Amino acid sequence: MSSGGQRRNTALFVGALALVLVTAVGLSQFASDQPDGLEYVADQEGFAESADEHVLAEAPLADYGGNLDGTESTNVAVAGLIGVLVTLGLGFGVFWLVRAGGTPPESAGS
Amino acid sequence: MHIPDGFINPGVSAAAGVVAAGGFGVAARRARVYLTERLVPLAALVAAFVFAAQMINFPVLPGMSGHLIGGVLAAVLVGPAAGYIVVSIVLIVQALVFADGGLSALGLNIVNMGLVGAVGGYYVFRALMRATGNRRVRVPMVAGIAAFASVPLVAVAFAVEFAIGGTAESLSMGTILWALLTTHTLIGIGEGLITALVIGAVMSARPDLVYGSPSFTGRRAEASVQ
């Protein structure tokens, strides 16, 4: 791949990552706090009580920052930022391991 | 759509864990066929996007919200094998870091949203693409329709698990199935719209990177897809 194409790919990646961060840190502020479909049905049909508390319910980021000390707004933002970075990092790691093997890099010097 | 601990008994949860882990092995082998080095950042980015989008619960009914599952979205962008891995990664991060989705239910959630949602939904997408002439301009709309359909499919998968291994007693399975289907069909509308919008945006920027599109320039794991 040409270095121009490589630059364009990098620019697209950075732009898309910025949008992902805006979603997780910014748009998440406007998320509904109503129960989701499964929780709603569990409430209505009377099996919500059969859920056990999550083993990690006391973890700092449990329920997307619910246990943090800041305001609700900053807690969600912190949770969104950390979640995106952890998911991205784990994604890079896992997909690097499973990537198509045996094909040498197209340009070793770039 | 994240099953907490306790809804489903340990036996069925463990069986789903075995299926989910086996599925991960199969998905990794299949992804190795086509997921080249240059697609690694895209696949990681799709995982980050699905995580972010799942934070955005949108109102659906009074007292009920829904959020993206992202299975079809991921599978159309990076293929069903990598799509399954994307959904698994997101569910693992949510369960381990954010206490969202039970640890004992992780296998159930991966089976439902990864296997049924991403892989099953992808084959709904492929069938609809073939039925409509496999035109690249239709990729966003067809992906949206498959994404819409995938949500009640995932709900049915939960209903089956609940019927086999639900811990709550003296409930009417028929009523629960109906409630799951109606609510998740409504949530599916949001899933379809978001999926069509995002796939449309990627198709207009880089149609060569979209695995499910005839414009994809990389290799595919299935020989039959042209």
Query: Which residues does A13 contact at the CB level (< 8 Å), separation at least 6?
Result: B41, B42, B45
* Fold of the domain spanning B10-209: Arp2/3 complex 21 kDa subunit ARPC3 (1.10.1760)
pTM for this predicted structure:
0.94
Q: How far is A71 from chain B (nearest CA, A)?
A: 17
Q: How far is B125 from chain A (nearest CA, A)?
A: 24
Model confidence pLDDT, tens digit, residues B121-166: 999 999 999 999 999 999 999 999 999 999 999 999 999 999 999 9
Residue B72 tokens, joined: 């079809």
Amino acid letter at B156? V
Q: Which positions 21-80 of B are in contact with A (Cβ < 8 Å)?
A: 28, 31-53, 55-61, 63-67
* ipTM score above 0.90: yes
Model confidence pLDDT, tens digit, residues A4-33: 788 889 999 999 999 999 999 999 999 999
Are B46 and B77 contacting, i.e. CB atoms less than 8 angstroms apart? yes
Q: Residue B146: name the closest of B127, B126, B124 by CA.
A: B124
A46/B168 Cβ within 8 A: yes
Q: What is the pLDDT along chain B (226 residues), one digit of tens a residue?
A: 899 999 999 999 999 999 999 999 999 999 999 999 999 999 999 999 999 999 999 999 999 999 999 999 999 999 999 999 999 999 999 999 999 999 999 999 999 999 999 999 999 999 999 999 999 999 999 999 999 999 999 999 999 999 999 999 878 899 999 999 999 999 999 999 999 999 999 999 999 999 999 999 998 886 555 4
Domain boundaries, chain B: 10-209
Express the helix, strand and coil content of chain B in percent, nearest 5 each. Answer: 70, 5, 25
Distance CA(B111)–CA(B154), nearest Å, equals: 9
